[in-house]
Amino acid sequence: MDQNIKIAVDAIVFGYEKGTLYVLAIQQRFGKLADSWVLPGGFILNDEPLINAVERELKEEAGIAVNYLEQLGTFGDNVNRDDRFRVISVAYFALVNPKNFVLKADTDAKDAKWFPINEIPKLGFDHDDMVKLAHQRLKSKLTYQPIGFDLLDAEFLFSDLENLYCTILEQDIDRRNFRKKILSFGIVKETNKVVKIGVSGRPGKLFSFDKPKYNQLLKENFQFDIRFA
């Protein structure tokens, strides 16, 4: 029996800034969904690995590159998810700092924009389901693996890291325990720099992420768990 199935990739890209979690969406330029908002993505080339297809689509449609990219799942149980033909999509989620990029829509994207996760417009296809699943995966993963550093500046206040976790997990954490645990792993290093905090102008120490140390611990299957307040 002949098959007539196309394979696509879609990307749920999370960004974080000033206590708000964002999701990247693009506005379709062509077709029945012209002017509608969807996730960045598209069909893979015949000789192209899936991960390369995601990276290419993000670059072409929004002008961004990502460091953290993880496969989320496959969407295809709904055979009518695309009314043009049968399409199976492999979804990935990514973490980036929006300040590191200037969005630039191109190819079949009319516009690209960051939306607060609670203010995302109705998305085309089954992309709302993808965002919901990716958000759940992100929240779950943060409780056992500290993956949020790609969302922060290269140097950050420790309170910035704490607030990032509270924002994504949507509840307060035991900050004292969190700080003790993160520092004990050695994946966050204290720099010799300080910045003024708030209206009082008191100095706050800046920290940076030690990625080689983190990668080493991953190979050792280290345990990381979050205590909530």
Per-residue pLDDT tens over the stretch 20-47:
999 999 999 888 888 899 999 999 999 9
Cβ(132)–Cβ(51) below 8 Å: no
Residue 228 lies in a domain: no
Determine the angle formed by the axes of helices 158-169 and 175-185, rounding to 10 degrees.
120
58 and 137 in a single domain? The answer is yes
Last residue of a domain, one of 88, 122, 141: 141
Report d(CA 163, CA 90) in Å as an integer: 31
Last residue of a domain, one of 141, 168, 201: 141
pLDDT for the residue numbered 156: 95
Fill in the amino acid letter for 197: I
pTM greater than 0.85 (yes/no): yes
181 and 71 in a single domain? The answer is no
Residue-range definition of the domain harbouring residue 122:
5-141
From 153, 149, 204, 212, select the one nearest 182 (Cα to Cα). Answer: 149
25 and 48 in a single domain? The answer is yes
Fill in the amino acid letter for 1: M
Last residue of a domain, one of 101, 117, 141: 141
Residues of the chain above pLDDT 70, percent: 98
Q: Is the pLDDT of residue 2 over 80?
A: no
Give the domain CATH number at 178.
1.10.10.10
Helices (H), the chain: 50-62, 127-142, 158-169, 175-185, 211-219
116 and 193 in a single domain? The answer is no
Summary mean pLDDT of the chain: 91
